[in-house]
A = this chain, B = another copy of it.
Amino acid sequence: MAVRASRRDRSAFLAELVASGLFVPSGVDGVYGRGGRFEEIRSAVEELITRRTINVDAERLAFPPLLPKRQLERIGYLSSFPHLAGTVFSFEGDEADAAELERRAGAGEDWSGLQTQTSVVLVPAACYPVYPAVAARGPLPQGGVTIDLGGSYVFRNEPSQDPARLQMFHQREMVRLGEPDVVRGWRDAWARQAVEILRGLGVEATADLASDPFFGRTGKMLARSQRSQELKFELVVSITVDEPTACASFNYHREHFSSVFDLRQLNGEQAHTACVGFGLERITLALLARHGLDPYVWPSDVTSELWPGRG
């Protein structure tokens, strides 16, 4: 019995995903293994976005999901999103400390006091490592730079029972650095292209003005300012009845990252930057919610978009 996307709440959808082997529970909210069928769809979405790219001469770079702690501090992430950051701690003690760690862990006691902060944190947005890396090369060449990061794991500390809110997920991410008009135009063109890509998959999506989940009272002001400057658009889809889900975002940072890392154009002026990120797991879930849990019986115009070689 097919349950329509619009009738399903998130706990029912999660139960269906688990029953069909698409998600494998780990015992922790927001952390799931994924079955082969899920991964096949996710990879196909990633490759579809690559085939439909509007980037010209993009440079491929890849980063692991670790960021130097110092970069998180410099970017100001801890001011805006302290609640979402994940930091990496480790053990630095001697054999006596190790014995105590083992004892506490075995007894189910708190062993956090035997962990020390390292120099790395988890990457909260796939584009973050790009800005210092490109800045280290000196001024941008004429026309700026486009970086294609492929699919990259990112972390958000927001454990949830919503299957579309994972603690780590893949962003299919791209970054544009250069002149303000060019950068903003690229961001806007990708927002239009993303609507087309989703429409080709039979998923109705709208690109809406949005704001980031800034922390606290000051955050409300930051969110208003972000909206009034039209810095962020999100592609919103319906996965469950609970609330619409953003499955891609299109962000114009103006000179935010350039002022931190001194990113300059060839003429010496500060560069502007923008990034585009597709949430691959969310798009996969939107497809499963829309067309059913078995892609072998999806409409042929959808499967031919995703797997053009299969004929």
Measured CB to CB, the residues of A under 8 A from B are 24-28, 31-36, 38-39, 59-68, 70-73, 78-79, 82-93, 95, 98, 101-102, 105-106, 108, 110-112, 115-120, 122, 129, 132-133, 136, 150, 153, 155, 157, 159, 166-169, 215-217
Measured between beta carbons, the chain B residues less than 8 angstroms from A167 are: 64, 66, 120
30 residue pairs bridging A and B, Cβ less than 8 Å apart:
A24-B133, A26-B63, A27-B70, A28-B120, A31-B68, A31-B120, A33-B62, A33-B63, A34-B62, A34-B63, A39-B150, A64-B153, A64-B167, A64-B169, A65-B153, A78-B105, A82-B101, A83-B91, A86-B118, A87-B112, A88-B88, A88-B89, A88-B157, A89-B112, A89-B117, A90-B157, A91-B157, A115-B117, A118-B157, A119-B159
By beta carbon, the residue of chain B nearest A81 is: B91
Measured between beta carbons, the chain B residues less than 8 angstroms from A116 are: 112
From the candidates B24, B39, B90, name the one contacting A83 in the complex (CB within 8 A): B90
B132 contacts A27, C-beta separation under 8 Å? yes
A215 contacts B98, C-beta separation under 8 Å? yes
With a 10 A CB-CB cut-off, give which of A59, A73, A110 has the most chain B CB atoms.
Answer: A73
From the candidates B34, B60, B90, B111, name the one contacting A86 in the complex (CB within 8 A): B90
By beta carbon, the residue of chain B nearest A26 is: B68
Q: A26-B71, A33-B63, A79-B105 are in contact. List 12 more A-B contacts (CB 8 A).
A: A26-B129, A27-B68, A28-B119, A36-B60, A79-B106, A88-B155, A89-B117, A90-B157, A95-B215, A95-B216, A98-B216, A112-B117
